[in-house]
Amino acid sequence: MDLNDTPEQAEYRTKVRTWLEAHKADAPGLEGPQPGHEEAFVTVRRAWQREMAEGGFAGVTWPAEFGGQGLGPLDQVIVGQEFQAAGVPGILDVIGIGMLGPTIIAHGTDEQKQRYLAPMLHADEVWCQLFSEPAAGSDLAGIQTRAVVQEDGSWKLTGQKVWTTNAHFASYGLILARTNSEVTKHKGMSMFIVPMDAEGVEIRPLRQITGEAEFNEVFFDDVHIPADAIVGPVDGGWMVALTTLLFERLAIGGGSESFGYRADRFAKAIADDPVASADSDVRHRLGKLATDLLALRYTGYRHLTAIERGGLPGSEAALGKVTAVKAAIEAGDLIADVIGPEALAEGEWAYLISFLPGLKSAGGTEEILRNMVGERVLGLPTEPRLDKGVPFSELKALEREGAKS
């Protein structure tokens, strides 16, 4: 690929810079929510996303008819690069705009697109992704939350989700629920839109090592879901979920250069410490990290070019996510060794060291993604599967037999 901007891209970059010069003063800081001040964080970040949307910098790749700019992924990268260079944050609702909005655009009805996409873009309504359950993460198709159809065509939803990012301030969630247990597990699920303030929805925050509570457990007790809240076909929810997961992997691994951490930022922190900067092991680790970060950047560009040319990234894109998270963890270890425990207290490195390792699980764990690459890219034999061809309702009995033998 050509690494220089095309004339159109250079023009777009100038447009982003000009807008940033005029609006940068309104931007909040880069730090995440501070314990006890989460609400204030959400309020200022909502206002900033709204300003970005009005300037045309939220939903850059969304079609224009839904309030987006109809531009390509490389234009989105330009926005990311310029916001990063200006030291200002991006959108608040990364899950909504990056993953759930595109899912509704791909599978939703015209009414759903008209109703939900504009408020999502302007952060008037933030969204959450209700997929994982206590016994269904990597094996997402094992979900047990049920939606039962009622006589009038509406649904009753019962079950529990976990690790739901942003549920505590989300207006809506996209929820994967089982609608038919008498078919194989991938075939009996459907996707629904659920208002997070509906009767029977209970949200309990989960506090993390970072001190914040970004995740939640969400319980559903006979929640009424209208018939027109289904996204995609009845029992066809797996295909809808795959669309979300594809966008999730792209968001985490795709073009991000290890989450905005460039080798020069680490080099500066190390150079400030005369003992560490003279240590050959530290210098060796920094060199390796710099190489990994560069490789990530160029691999990310290759994926983006493939998408720009109309293709979809293959399963090998999974390696981008694995490598990006590994680089973040290695960088955190290096900085923690150089600066010591106070690096965790707060400030520039605390998020890198305490939060980013959790991304090993988000959007597919390393083991699952490596399995995917082994099977679909390298052509290795597939994992043994006991659930093939077995209706979901019989899987529990199979598990019990397996546990006995």
Q: Of the candidates 32, 142, 200, 358, which one interacts with ligand FAD according to CB under 6 A?
A: 358
Binding of residue 359 to ligand FAD (CB under 6 A):
yes
Q: How many CA atoms lie within 13 A of 248 on its CB side?
A: 18
In this complex, which beta carbon is closest to ligand FAD, that of residue 199 or of residue 383?
383
Give the integer Cα–Cα distance in Å for 170 and 336. Answer: 34
Enumerate residues 89-128 that contact ligand FAD by CB under 6 A: 95, 128
Q: Shortest approach of ligand FAD to residue 362 CB, angstroms? A: 3
Catalytic residue status for 31: no
Binding of residue 138 to ligand FAD (CB under 6 A):
yes
Beta bridge partners of 202: 219
Enumerate residues 319-338 that contact ligand FAD by CB under 6 A: none
User: Residue 344 is encoded by which pair of tokens?
Assistant: 């965790």
Binding of residue 164 to ligand FAD (CB under 6 A):
yes
Q: Which residues of 186-196 are buried (b: 16+ CB within 10 A; e: fewer)?
A: bbbbbbbbbbb
Q: How many residues bind ligand FAD (CB under 6 A)?
A: 20
Identify the CA nearest to 182 among candidates 396, 398, 392, 399. 392
Binding of residue 165 to ligand FAD (CB under 6 A):
yes
Q: Of the candidates 21, 31, 367, 394, which one interacts with ligand FAD according to CB under 6 A?
A: 367
Residue 324 CB coordination number (10 Å): 25
330 burial class (0-12, 13-18, 19+ CB within 10 angstroms)?
A: middle
- What's the start-to-end Cα distance of the chain, in Å? 55
In this complex, which beta carbon is closest to ligand FAD, that of residue 84 or of residue 365?
365
User: Residue 242 is encoded by which pair of tokens?
Assistant: 């795959």
User: CB under 6 A: which stretch of 109-117, 182-190, 251-259, 357-365 binds ligand FAD?
Assistant: 357-365
Identify the CA nearest to 118 among candidates 128, 105, 131. 105
In this complex, which beta carbon is closest to ligand FAD, that of residue 69 or of residue 145?
145
In this complex, which beta carbon is closest to ligand FAD, that of residue 99 or of residue 338?
99
What are the residues binding ligand FAD (CB under 6 A)?
Answer: 95, 128-132, 137-138, 163-165, 358-359, 361-362, 365, 367-368, 371, 383
